[in-house]
């Protein structure tokens, strides 16, 4: 075998190995979802004390995860929290079997989409992912009520407000065409007389809700959870 023939065969073999590796990576992701530990922790807790079927699931990003007074705020209602901080709607879809469907809730409160916009996704992406979440949920739980707690304003992300409003509008239009879909609007009670987010509603990071912010959210959501609110929005 000549040296040139040997080199040619080595090059072909290397190319085949590379293409095989790339194919394997695309067929089976090599990285574990960044929220796997949080979801696994919920599953471990469920083995000790699982929520009863037919409850009210709160899920979504950190503003849900940080709602530590949920049961106190909605006494007598079967609420439980499965938020995971920093998540996007695509993460709620990725974990839908483990964080939504397995509980067979009668009602879901979901707040997500703000992190999506913050990493560069478009309002249309937010709508598409919310639609996917609804469709996948309804395929397994056709009678479940879904409340979208919209993308609220905050001092930290005030420059994103137009994209936030656009995403909210798109989701609201979709909800208005659906059945048992509801829209809870944070904006009216979050904006002060100066037209800016009220600072007292946020903790020091100026992004997440303060105790006063959760009081406001409780008042907003209580009519939906108690059945007093029967219209779409």
CATH of the domain at 213: 3.40.50.1110
At 32 the pLDDT is 57
**231 within a domain of the structure (yes/no):** no
Same domain, 68 and 92: yes
The confidence score (pLDDT) of residue 210 equals 98
Asked whether residue 90 carries a pLDDT value surpassing 50, the answer given is: yes
pLDDT reported for residue 232: 58
CA distance 201 to 185: 15
Q: Is residue 179 part of a domain?
A: yes
pLDDT band at 230 (very low <50, low <70, confident <90, very high): low
Band of residue 227 on the pLDDT scale cut at 50, 70, 90: confident
Same-domain pairing of 88 and 147: yes
Phi, psi of 104, deg, nearest 5: 45, 55
| Whether 43 and 26 share a structural domain | no
Q: Do 78 and 21 belong together in one domain?
A: no
pTM (2 d.p.): 0.85
The number of distinct structural domains making up the chain is: 2
Range of the domain at 122: 34-226
- pLDDT of 9 > 60? The answer is no
Report the pLDDT value the prediction gives residue 67, as an integer from 0 to 100. Answer: 98
Same domain membership, residue 47 and residue 8 = no
Spatial contact of 109 and 59, defined as CB atoms under 8 Å apart:
yes
> Residue 89 and residue 105: Cα distance in Å, rounded?
18
How far is 52 from 101, CA to CA, in rounded Å?
Answer: 13
Report if residue 233 sits inside a domain: no
Q: What is the structure's pLDDT at 28?
A: 35
How do residues 25-76 score in pLDDT, each as one tens digit? 333 333 458 899 999 999 999 999 999 999 999 999 999 999 999 999 999 9
């Amino acid at each position: 075998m000549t040296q040139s023939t040997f080199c040619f065969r080595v090059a072909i073999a290397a190319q085949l190995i590379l293409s095989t590796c790339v194919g394997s990576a695309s067929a089976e992701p090599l990285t574990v979802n960044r929220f796997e530990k949080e979801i696994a922790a919920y599953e471990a807790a469920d083995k000790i004390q699982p929520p009863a079927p037919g409850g009210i699931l709160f899920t979504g990003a950190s503003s849900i995860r940080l709602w530590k007074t949920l049961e106190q705020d909605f006494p007598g209602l079967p609420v439980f929290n499965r938020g995971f901080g920093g998540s996007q709607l695509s993460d709620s879809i990725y974990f839908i079997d483990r964080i939504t469907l397995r509980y067979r809730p009668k009602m879901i409160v979901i707040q997500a989409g703000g992190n999506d916009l913050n990493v560069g996704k478009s309002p249309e992406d937010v709508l598409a992912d919310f639609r996917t979440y609804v469709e996948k949920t309804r395929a397994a739980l056709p009678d479940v009520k879904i409340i979208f707690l919209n993308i609220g304003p905050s001092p930290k992300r005030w420059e994103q407000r137009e994209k936030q409003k656009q995403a909210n509008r798109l989701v609201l239009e979709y909800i208005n065409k659906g059945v048992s879909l509801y829209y809870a609007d944070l904006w009216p009670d979050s904006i002060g007389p100066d037209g800016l987010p009220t600072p007292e509603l946020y903790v020091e990071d100026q992004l997440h809700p303060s105790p006063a912010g959760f009081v406001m959210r409780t008042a907003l959501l209580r009519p939906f959870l108690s059945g007093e609110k029967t219209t779409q929005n």
